[in-house]
Amino acid sequence: MNSYQVITSLAFALYLGLMLSIGFFNYKKTNNTSDFFLGSRSVGPWFTALSAEASDMSGWLLMGLPGVAYFTGLQEAFWTAMGLLIGTYLNWLFVAKRMRKYTIHAKDSITIPEFLANRFHDKTKVLQTLSSIIILVFFVVYTASGFLASAKLFNAVFGLNYYIALLLGVVVILGYTLLGGYLAVVATDFFQGSLMFIALFMTAIIGVGLLGGPLVTIEKLSVFGAQFVNPFVAEPGSEYGFIDILSALSWGLGYFGMPHILVRFMSIRSNKEVKTSRRIAMVWVTVAMAAALTVGVVGKAFLLPLVYESQGAAESVFIASMQKIFPTFIAGIFLCAILAASMSTSDSQLLVASSAFSKDVYKAILRKNASDKETLAVSRITVLVITVIAIFLAMDPTSSIFDIVSYAWAGFGATFGPVILASLFWRRATRNGAVAAMVGGGLTVIIWKQLSGGLFDVYELLPGFIIASILMVIFSLLEKNPDAKMIAEFDKYQSIED
């Protein structure tokens, strides 16, 4: 191991030690499932905002998005970022307060499946079971993307065997998730979100400065093609038209169905603090995305003579840029931002997925008399099982983080998005409508993904979301006599002041 790797290893060790310490500290505060899954709804606005955005963006922001910008230019990366910005704002504006208020009103629900079952008065447990299965399936895929990002990081920085690097990242993520639950996840997310923000911003600004400033940078990037300085210009030989832009913007629809983001809304201390959280979140995500796009395209000129030949390889552009810009120890600390991004999302997903099984399947259906302690133990075992499956999905080092995330994002957006919106805004929505929407949306995403050419090139989230919304309306209206108590409960929730 050379001196660079020794110093970088020290930076990583300090960082990972801090994360595990946070997990151990919060272990003492985790006494029941409400603590483990939702932090007893006691999280302040700053922690809520940064935790939501850090767990949302993951390694996709620091590796996936810059990789797309480096390899193809700004079109897809820019419009995808715009869709996510719009989706982030609308989710905070329209869903956050309602989600917190209604989950409390609906028998103090602490998981998404439990909320949907209580909201739609589903005594058959069909909706609760179905939503739990969907969460488990798509979060296994999503978690794999986080493991992939951390493995690529350790492989690129230390030259570790990919599979050893994969296991190393998994051990750390598992450590503090199993120890501290939600409080540990939120606390580490706050720290990790701050580190991600600083690392991206500093790398983008300094990279442009070292190339000679904005004007010189644009001139140098123009050599590679106008698409690297103008998101409205298509790559030579391809057309990036209205359908492509609409497809990229549709990423924003995914926010309404992301369980690991929705639980952040549920956990905030007070609805009065949502506005503060929204402002913090929007500043963070706007600056971070602009920096990620800049790092990607600037790396095209800044890293020469290094050239990445594939999109999967180009996802290391942020790593290479930091190694070239910063002194070894500082670079090591900032490189931890990539691990932070992977960890902040994977821990959240593991927690939500484990809650879906332990509380909404095991306790609700399999062992209704299970104690809180037993349910908590099952939650931790579930985290381990999901991790093992996700490891197998992340075994291919050539996989693209961007592609894996896009599939899981579409799955959640199409299955849960229309259902969550209907549950919060439409008093006539019913259980049958919710079930039909989730099944129809999920199947559309899976089938659409296997097709290609023409209309089928549209991102599968958009048709999945549309079909799920239509099914939600049709099957709800087909019920001539919806549950009167359910409607009365909805009206009462609407009348509650924020």
CATH assignment of 3-395? 1.20.1730.10
pLDDT for the residue 341: 66
In sequence order, what DSSP letters do the residues of 327-362 get, joined into one string? -HHHHHHHHHHHHHHHHHHHHHHHHHHHHHHIIIII
* Residue the block writes with tokens 């910063």: 326
State the sign of the Cα–Cα–Cα–Cα dihedral 404, 406, 411, 417: positive
Per-residue pLDDT, 53: 80
Residues 6+ apart with CB under 8 A from 270: none
Q: Do residues 54 and 185 touch, judged by C-beta distance below 8 A? A: no
Measure Cα distances from 107 to 13, 127, 183, 258 in Å: 43, 16, 22, 21
Q: In 3D, which of 320, 35, 304 has the Cα closest to residue 152?
A: 320
> Which segments in the chain show pLDDT lower than 70?
1, 20, 22-42, 44, 58, 175-188, 234-239, 340-341, 343-345, 347-348, 498
Helix (H, G, I), strand (E, B) or coil at 110: coil
Assess whether the previous peptide bond of 236 is cis (omega < 30° from 0). no
Q: Tell me the per-residue pLDDT of 415-465, one tens digit each, with 9 for 90 and over.
A: 999 999 999 999 999 999 999 999 999 999 999 998 877 788 899 999 999
In angstroms, the CA 355 to CA 140 distance is: 14
Half-sphere exposure in the Cβ direction for 104 (13 Å, CA): 20
Position 283 scores a pLDDT of 93
Give the per-residue pLDDT at 190.
Answer: 76
The phi, psi pair for 226, rounded to 5°, reads -60, -25
Q: Residues with Cβ < 8 Å from 473, sequence gap 6 or more?
A: 433
User: What's the pLDDT tens digit per position in 188-207?
Assistant: 677 777 888 898 999 999 99
CB 170 within 8 A of CB 391: yes
Length of the chain: 498
Q: Give CA separation, 446 vs 48, 86, 399, 412, 415, in Å.
A: 32, 25, 19, 12, 11
Q: Radius of gyration over alpha carbons of the chain, in Å?
A: 22
pLDDT of residue 356: 77
